[in-house]
Amino acid sequence: MKVSLNSISNKKTANVQFEGYKPVKSDTGNREYEFNYVYDDSKKDCYLEVFLLDKDKNGNWFVTGQEDMFGNIKPLLNSNNEQEILLNKGRATKINLAKEFGLRPDQPDRKSVV
C-alpha cells in the first residue's frame, strides 16, 4: 500500500491517499498491475481475489458471477485454476489481468474489481 500525504502551509494534512495498486507496462509492453499492500507477513499471508462487476439500470455497480452453495459470489479463476494469487512479501507483485483472468482492459460491458 502506498501512502501519499499532501501538507498545506500550516502543517495540517490536506489529503491522505492510499494506493494499493497501479497499472504498469511489462518489459514486453503488456499492461500489468503492480500490487503493494502492507501486512504482517510473520502472522498472515496476503492474497489477491478478482471479481466481475456489472451495472444495474440505475448505473450502480454490483458484484456478479457464479455463486457458491451459500449464495456468495465466487472470485474468478486464474490461469492456474485458483481463486487467489499470493502476493509477494515485502515487494510489489506484478500481474497481467488479461493473461491470468482473461480480462481485457477494453471490455465495455463489465469491469473487474480486486
> Model confidence over 2-50: pLDDT tens digits?
444 444 445 555 565 667 888 889 888 888 888 888 778 888 888 888 8
CA angle 37, 39, 40 (to 5 degrees): 160
Q: Distance of CA 44 to CAs 41, 82, 87, 92, Å?
A: 5, 19, 11, 17
The owner of cell 466481475 is 52
Which pLDDT belongs to residue 10?
A: 52
Q: What is the pTM of this model?
A: 0.67
- Number of helices and strands (H, E) in the chain? 1, 10
